[in-house]
Amino acid sequence: MAPAAEPAIGQSHSYRSGDPQLAVVDEEAEQPPKFDDPYQERRYLKHRLTLAFRIFAKFDLSEGVAGHITVRDPVDPTSFWVNPFGMHFSLIEDADLIRVDHSGNVVEGGNNKRLNYAAYAIHAETHKARPDVLCAAHSHSLYGRAMCTTGKTLDMLTQDFCVFWNDHVLYSNFAGLVLATAEGKAIAAALGNKKAALLGNHGLMTVGPSIEATVAWFVLLEKCCQIQLAADASAAGTGRSLVTIGEDEAQATWEAVGTIGNGYFQGLPLFQVAEREFGERTLLGRGIVPWNAA
């Protein structure tokens, strides 16, 4: 499946708020670094995945042993790296990550090589269905779970919601703990070419072509769920309907802030804070140096 279409420069509609392309930073700031050596890229991506778990821990996006983030392996793209089952997100280091093939076999990893089978069932099918997806994240977050009981997708309530305009789905067919690849295939099919899914009675899921975009979208989606629930409660209390953003305005905003490049750039500040836990600092996710030398 092809990813959601990115607007071409100079081909956007004429919007009252201005040309969405003016929100583009620059090519370097909106793309992860590129590597000639897949083994060097593997080391880099594993560390960024470790940072992603620190970010999830910081935003309280974990619940017991539930939740997983995966990244496709650049050396063997028919496998992915994921957190070991039963380890708290805040404690994960690069060496703890495990690599799982698309048949559900743990082929390498740290001391704890336990695999959350639900992570395999969901993520293997997602990675197989979406070659454009480098990273996928799923968690049983507080407001995400609450939103996933409403049987609805997000309304376009604020500028930030428009990141998900026509770019998220509701998968309402909760069938119990995902322990069958057929259910993983159904989730991947429902997701289609979108960046996010509300898994009914379950939790949130985001996918992206970079770890940074996937994490940024997940953190934002959780906050949008919180705002949606608060706004719905307010509307129910006052009896007044919510004011939503129009289709043209939502599209213009998505073209400005919902793109793949913007997702990467929006994720960088989250990773900068996580880097400091390791005494590191990067510029745009490139060139790790000790924090006190930056």
pLDDT of residue 15: 80
Instruction: Give yes or no for a contact between 121 and 178, defined as CB atoms under 8 angstroms apart.
Output: yes
Q: pTM of the entire structure?
A: 0.92
Q: Residue-wise over 133-142: b if at least 16 C-beta within 10 A, else e? A: bbbbbbbbbe
Instruction: Report the pLDDT value the prediction gives residue 291, as an integer from 0 to 100.
Output: 66
∠ CA 166-169-171, rounded to 5°? 170
**Long-range Cβ pairs for the range 237-244 (8 Å, 24+):** 242/155, 242/157, 244/155, 244/156, 244/157
User: Are 145 and 64 a contacting pair, CB within 8 Å?
Assistant: no
- Output the CA–CA distances (angstroms, integers) from residue 213 to 31, 112, 123, 151, 172, in the order listed: 10, 28, 17, 26, 25
pLDDT (0 to 100) of residue 8 = 44
Q: pLDDT at position 9, please?
A: 40
Residue 36 pLDDT: 97
pLDDT, residue 13, reads 65
Identify the segments of the chain with pLDDT beneath 50. Answer: 1-5, 7-12, 294
Domains of the chain: 34-285 (3.40.225.10)
Question: Strand 196-199 vs strand 168-171: parallel, antiparallel, or unpaired?
Answer: parallel
Nearest-10 Cα torsion for 137, 142, 146, 152? -30
